[in-house]
Structure 1
Amino acid sequence: MRQTWRWFGPQDLVSIDDIRQAGAEGVVSALHHVPSGAVWTPEEIEKRQREVATAANGQPSGLAWEVVESLPVSEDIKKQKNDWREHIANYRTSLRNLAAAGIKVVCYNFMPVLDWTRTDLAWRLPHGGTCMRFDLVDFAAFDIGILKRPGASEDFPPEIVEEANRRLAEMDATRKNELARNIAFGLPGAAEHLTMDDLRAHLEEYGATSPEQLRNHFIAFLEEVVPTAEEVGIRLCCHPDDPPFQLLGLPRIMSTEADYATIMNAVDSPANGITLCSGSLGARPDNDLPGMMRRLGSRVHFLHLRNVKRETANIAGSFYEAEHLGGDTDMVALIAEILKEEERRRAAGREDHSIPMRPDHGQDILDDLKRKAQPGYPAVGRLRGLAELRGIITALSHPEYGLAE
């Protein structure tokens, strides 16, 4: 696996020098300041490449921008409204510009309205650190009592609604505002931040959009952009829903192995691939991560390795970001399947035999608690995760004791 690290640009409190010291081999980044639907120009791409390639002292960093995360799919494309055709044309132009700059892996998602969603961005852990958490009751309280979405109460079990109403009665205005900010936080550094009015307007525009309709829109998008990706040698890889279940009455169509199989079969091309995120998919108890890697591995172009601890056995439930080896996903079994897939690729002569991975998210520990970097992206917490993952990779790759025959 090629070890990479996500960087949000010069404003990121985890610097390029920090990434070098962590031992990462490449950088995952994006042009977060460019609005969704607009073209990523050669000039802006080159500027970000220079920033990645330069250490604080002005000397070469030895790092390169290797993976895009994310080239966003606009809401117009997802809804097939307004300027969606122009946005698809711009997306294809951006792919051509990225390929011309030497970048070959592009991650994106097709989640309607919200990117990853958490109710708490700094939940206190017993050891004194913090992590992100999704509390289903708090989310129901937001949906029912703060957003006041019509019909919200019908989307939750009665016991969740009852507890949500109890919590709402105990919340003051400060706590309600904090909860709303956390849920609408979106991607750090993004050009667009949702207000409650924005969120309501998006939900109204989606209306009664069914999963089938959204899936058809997704396939239509892929039918347009995958041929371009094939032509220029880019590997597209879709990130799963996070969390992988319905929220706000919106359809979720990339939450299970069956969802991925449907999309891979609909546009059957090596350029139409998967970002296998063990944390997002692992929040659902019915997702078998090692099995997914074994069955769909030939189309996995990017790996997010992280872990979550589920607090219930329900499909939709509360969970928190655990240590990379401490959650409900068997990380050793998953990495074993990844290494087997890489060996199959080597035997087949595939150029992409080393799959880029990054230690995704992490708990805020030690100096992270003072640094206050982007939620989910601490320096020390991710370094700990990368060290743990490296240990597994090293052990499983050992010529005498590992998987090698």
Structure 2
Amino acid sequence: MNNIKKLEQTFRWFGPEDEVNLQYIRQTGATGIVTALHDIPCGEVWGTKEIYNRKRMIEESGLTWSVIESINIHESIKTAAPDRAEWIQKYLESLTNVAACGLKVVCYNFMPVLDWTRTDLNYILANGASALRYDAASLAAFDLFILKRAGAENEFTAVEKEAASACFNKMSEQEKTVLQNTIMAGLPGTDEVFSISEFKSHLRRYENIDAEKLRENLIYFLTAIIPTAEKLGIKMCIHPDDPPFPILGLPRIVCNESDIARIISAVPSPSNGITFCTGSLGANPVNNLTEIIRKFGSNIHFLHLRNVKKEKDGSFFEADHLDGDNNMAAIMSAIIEEQKLRFLKGRTDVSIPMRPDHGHKILDDFNHQCYPGYSAIGRMKGLAELRGLELGLRAII
């Protein structure tokens, strides 16, 4: 089966303002672009003119717009607000428009209020590189002593509260401000940072929404959009929660194998799939990543490949792509086996789009302003490692 197509190598790009421009990306060896219209407010309709213009810009650089990440979901849909039908209709219009422009894979997430969350965007490793880090004590310190969320003290153990207090007491005022701005960052591709009062306002909308209710709201959304997505030939792929456990009083519902099974079985369709993120799922110690691929491989429409080093208290940091707690060789082998199954079934989506996720800052990356986790050279290093791993395994599997 040497004629099976390799994974499609892609790179995330945040649009014309991104210092890691399309010319740089082309030099990495990636052929596909993962991006979104970040200037359109969350929930508003993506017009065909704007989509075509962005697609033309990418194609004129010799690349392909392979995956949309993301058409963000309005909070009214997540909270089942009275106006959610209007926002779902707008989402359907966006899907119709992107399909008309030839775009067929849409990554999205259903995380309340915040996107992926870290406490340190510049964690210095032993070799001098910089990584992203989630520190459990710092998150608890923010929750208890800066946000001062009502009821938070009941959600931490005595040991966790002691660690949070020690962490908070040793921080300078500047460090507290940096921590707050890091956690309160808005959607990727924007410079939005919530104030404490704004965030508390969002939290109030979730006071009566637990994990089961949030899951009901997700299934309602999927029931409304998946039939249209299937008719349009669009593959929707939900991204796991990051980190894969509740934080700041907000529920999480895409954290493990059971969560994935419930989402896929609730609305059975080739268009209802997942973004398989080895970093998000890998940060949860209960997850067996290769087993998840074997069980849900046919529903994997997009791959985020990265690695993490976990700590006993729930903390973790982004490791080198091939050097972390996730066995990337075993993961890649399982992905290649899934490709073989697709090939034998005559599927047309054998070349699954893959991107290196959350690269370190290394070398000249420190001289550029990039979005956290999206440095040029660090990600190129990750892509080169993953490319070599894939080619090596294909020679022996």
Whole-angstrom CA distance in 2 between matches of 1:353 and 1:110: 26
Match runs of 1:218-257 below 5 Å: 218-257=218-257
Question: Which residue is 2:342 aligned to?
Answer: 345
Compute the displacement of 1:82 (Å): 4.4
> AA paired with 1:80?
A
Indicate if the aligned counterparts of 1:35 and 1:192 stay in contact, CA closer than 8 A. Answer: no
TM-score, scaled relative to structure 1: 0.95
Indicate if the aligned counterparts of 2:34 and 2:66 stay in contact, CA closer than 8 A. Answer: yes
Whole-angstrom CA distance in 1 between matches of 2:315 and 2:191: 29
Matched, 1:35 2:44: no
Matched, 1:380 2:377: yes
SS in 2 for 1:123: strand
Whole-angstrom CA distance in 1 between matches of 2:301 and 2:189: 24
Residues 195-204 or 297-306, more deviating: 195-204
Indicate if the aligned counterparts of 2:45 and 2:90 stay in contact, CA closer than 8 A. Answer: yes
Match runs of 1:19-30 below 5 Å: 19-30=25-36
Whole-angstrom CA distance in 2 between matches of 1:176 and 1:98: 42
> AA paired with 1:321?
E
Question: Which residue is 2:4 aligned to?
Answer: none
Indicate if the aligned counterparts of 1:239 and 1:274 stay in contact, CA closer than 8 A. Answer: yes
Indicate if the aligned counterparts of 2:356 and 2:379 stay in contact, CA closer than 8 A. Answer: yes
Matched, 1:18 2:15: no
Compute the displacement of 1:165 (Å): 1.3
Match runs of 1:153-164 below 5 Å: 153-164=153-164
Question: Which residue is 1:184 aligned to?
Answer: 184
Compute the displacement of 1:326 (Å): 0.7
Whole-angstrom CA distance in 1 between matches of 2:337 and 2:147: 46
Match runs of 1:121-200 below 5 Å: 121-190=121-190, 192-200=192-200
Question: Which residue is 2:68 aligned to?
Answer: 68
> AA paired with 1:345?
R
Compute the displacement of 1:130 (Å): 0.5
SS in 1 for 2:253: coil
Compute the displacement of 1:138 (Å): 0.2
SS in 1 for 2:386: helix
SS in 2 for 1:219: helix
Indicate if the aligned counterparts of 1:121 and 1:132 stay in contact, CA closer than 8 A. Answer: yes
Whole-angstrom CA distance in 2 between matches of 1:195 and 1:64: 37
SS in 2 for 1:328: coil
Which consecutive unaligned segments of at least 5 residues does structure 2 have?
A: 1-6
Whole-angstrom CA distance in 1 between matches of 2:123 and 2:379: 17
Whole-angstrom CA distance in 1 between matches of 2:212 and 2:189: 32
What are the superposed Cα offsets for residues 371-405 of structure 1, whole Å, 9 maximum, x if unpaired?
A: 1311100111101101110111001111xxx11xx
> AA paired with 2:252?
R
Whole-angstrom CA distance in 1 between matches of 2:95 and 2:346: 25
> AA paired with 2:371?
Q
Whole-angstrom CA distance in 2 between matches of 1:301 and 1:144: 39
Whole-angstrom CA distance in 1 between matches of 2:237 and 2:383: 22
Indicate if the aligned counterparts of 2:278 and 2:305 stay in contact, CA closer than 8 A. Answer: yes
> AA paired with 1:21?
Q
Question: Which residue is 1:266 aligned to?
Answer: 266
Question: Which residue is 1:57 aligned to?
Answer: none
> AA paired with 2:390?
I
Whole-angstrom CA distance in 1 between matches of 2:108 and 2:277: 12
Whole-angstrom CA distance in 1 between matches of 2:70 and 2:194: 18
Compute the displacement of 1:168 (Å): 1.8
Compute the displacement of 1:191 (Å): 7.5
Whole-angstrom CA distance in 1 between matches of 2:53 and 2:156: 46
Which consecutive unaligned segments of at least 5 residues does structure 1 have?
A: 55-60
How many residues end up aligned between the 2 structures? 391
Whole-angstrom CA distance in 2 between matches of 1:156 and 1:356: 39
Whole-angstrom CA distance in 1 between matches of 2:40 and 2:198: 19
What are the superposed Cα offsets for residues 110-137 of structure 1, whole Å, 9 maximum, x if unpaired?
A: 0011100000001111101101100000
Question: Which residue is 2:315 aligned to?
Answer: 318
Determine which of 51, 54, 57 is the counterpart of 1:48.
54
Whole-angstrom CA distance in 2 between matches of 1:189 and 1:298: 30
Whole-angstrom CA distance in 2 between matches of 1:331 and 1:157: 34
Indicate if the aligned counterparts of 2:185 and 2:191 stay in contact, CA closer than 8 A. Answer: no
Compute the displacement of 1:205 (Å): 1.0
Whole-angstrom CA distance in 2 between matches of 1:173 and 1:204: 27
Question: Which residue is 1:390 aligned to?
Answer: 387
Compute the displacement of 1:23 (Å): 0.6
Question: Which residue is 1:286 aligned to?
Answer: 286
Compute the displacement of 1:172 (Å): 2.7
Compute the displacement of 1:109 (Å): 0.2
Q: 1:248 to 1:62 in 2, by over 3 A?
A: same
Whole-angstrom CA distance in 2 between matches of 1:13 and 1:379: 9
> AA paired with 2:249?
G
Whole-angstrom CA distance in 2 between matches of 1:36 and 1:230: 23
SS in 2 for 1:367: helix
> AA paired with 1:289?
L
What are the superposed Cα offsets for residues 270-313 of structure 1, whole Å, 9 maximum, x if unpaired?
A: 1000000000000011111111001110000000000010011x
Indicate if the aligned counterparts of 2:181 and 2:193 stay in contact, CA closer than 8 A. Answer: no
Compute the displacement of 1:167 (Å): 2.2
TM-score, scaled relative to structure 2: 0.97
Whole-angstrom CA distance in 2 between matches of 1:113 and 1:187: 9
